[in-house]
Structure 1
């Protein structure tokens, strides 16, 4: 079994500890205010980050947490609840969903965002490693999905990313083991396929949510239902739950 974990970043206990939350919530609110008035993310994040003397990781967090008010409304209007996936085909942004759930299982920071999504601070830059949490994460996603009985579940993984073929194979293996309607593919155009799909998309990638016709918030549903002990951080004014 893999021994590597998708655990907390070494800086996160300090960056997102209780003493930092009030300042980060203020910064997130200011960033959202600027974005809602047409200012760019880059310039606004730099301005707010400099004013509050935020670290690069704290700046990344507030950028993932907030968006313009108009974007929040548009994304929520296209959101399909898990309960309405019965007999539907859903298309999963494989690495996006899987890494979020792996991070939650490994004790990493998960951020509740203005648009309702749950996001981590990881990024795939051409490299992905299967970790100790991978199989469990896929299993928990499957258990959450099976409650709504979708007709078909298609996982898409970026072919250029290392180990994409292997993780797609693991998805197919677990689907067969649990009798889930899983298909898994590697593709050179994952984002474009998700953005153009007429089926329900499962992703928390902001660029994809802007283009998708409909989407389901499976990451948050899985964490809420299956990983209640996850370290979730809310910079939007809701209740914060720290690690045990």
Structure 2
């Protein structure tokens, strides 16, 4: 889907949301107007959050200094997927709840996506800068090559000053949200977590990559 169309749809959807219109009919209206596919709608839902949910998520988002000395549990595919999108130049968006999200998973499944060593290096680098007490990076067990990816992250961890581990789990959302601090932009994790850190946002800043904001006008 063209990014320009997605941004236009997001602007109109957000306008309906903040005028108090119900979520489901609003998505249906925008979907019909822009002839959106199911995948397009999935992408749109990652960008625009309904006001009550957006506020609830945003108040859990913490700055990196508050994570120092704490345990951080990382939603592996979620976080590394967005980092990979950043380094590949794929579009990433700042949602209205304050979290940076990519939309690649709307169009490609996890097993179709590659995670470069560079993405892992950037993840571990930002974690080292935060200086957490411990790090646990979790990957979805049912997804193919999760074991291989967790092994690569474990190897990377051994070359850092970080104390931590990487492994596969059947219920990643639940396990990540149990940590002192969760690192994920997945709404299922954010809802359960006490505090959440947006690692791709920090990496984007270090790479001087600005996420797209649907409330701004862009020339493409």
**TM-score category, normalised to shorter length:** 0.7 to 0.9
1:79 aligns with 2:58: no
- Which residue in the other structure is 1:4 paired with? none
Counterparts of residues 233-244 of structure 1 (less than 5 Å): 233-237=212-216
- Give the superposition deviation at 1:80: 1.6
After the TM superposition, which of the residue ranges 158-167 and 74-83 deviates more from structure 2?
74-83
Distance 1:213 1:45 in 2: 29
Distance 1:175 1:186 in 2: 15
Preserved contact between residue 138 and residue 168 of structure 2 (Cα < 8 Å):
yes
- Give the superposition deviation at 1:61: 3.4
Distance 2:6 2:89 in 1: 20
1:222 aligns with 2:203: yes
Give the RMSD, CA atoms, in angstroms. Answer: 2.6
User: Scaled by the length of structure 2, what TM-score is found?
Assistant: 0.86
- Which residue in the other structure is 1:39 paired with? 22
Number of aligned residue pairs: give it. Answer: 218
1:209-243, CA deviations, whole angstroms, 9 ceiling, x for partnerless residues?
A: 12211111111111111x22x47322133x7598x
- Give the superposition deviation at 1:135: 1.1
Counterparts of residues 1-244 of structure 1 (less than 5 Å): 15-16=2-3, 20=4, 24-36=6-18, 37=20, 39-41=22-24, 43-54=25-36, 58-123=40-105, 127-128=110-111, 131=114, 133-195=115-177, 197-225=178-206, 227-228=207-208, 230=209, 232-237=211-216
Describe the SS at the equivalent of 1:168.
Answer: helix
Distance 1:35 1:83 in 2: 33
Describe the SS at the equivalent of 1:128.
Answer: helix
1:73-114, CA deviations, whole angstroms, 9 ceiling, x for partnerless residues?
A: 211211121111111000000100011101111121111111
**Structure 1: runs of 5+ lacking an equivalent:** 1-10
**Structure 2: runs of 5+ lacking an equivalent:** none
- Give the superposition deviation at 1:181: 2.2
Distance 2:15 2:113 in 1: 39
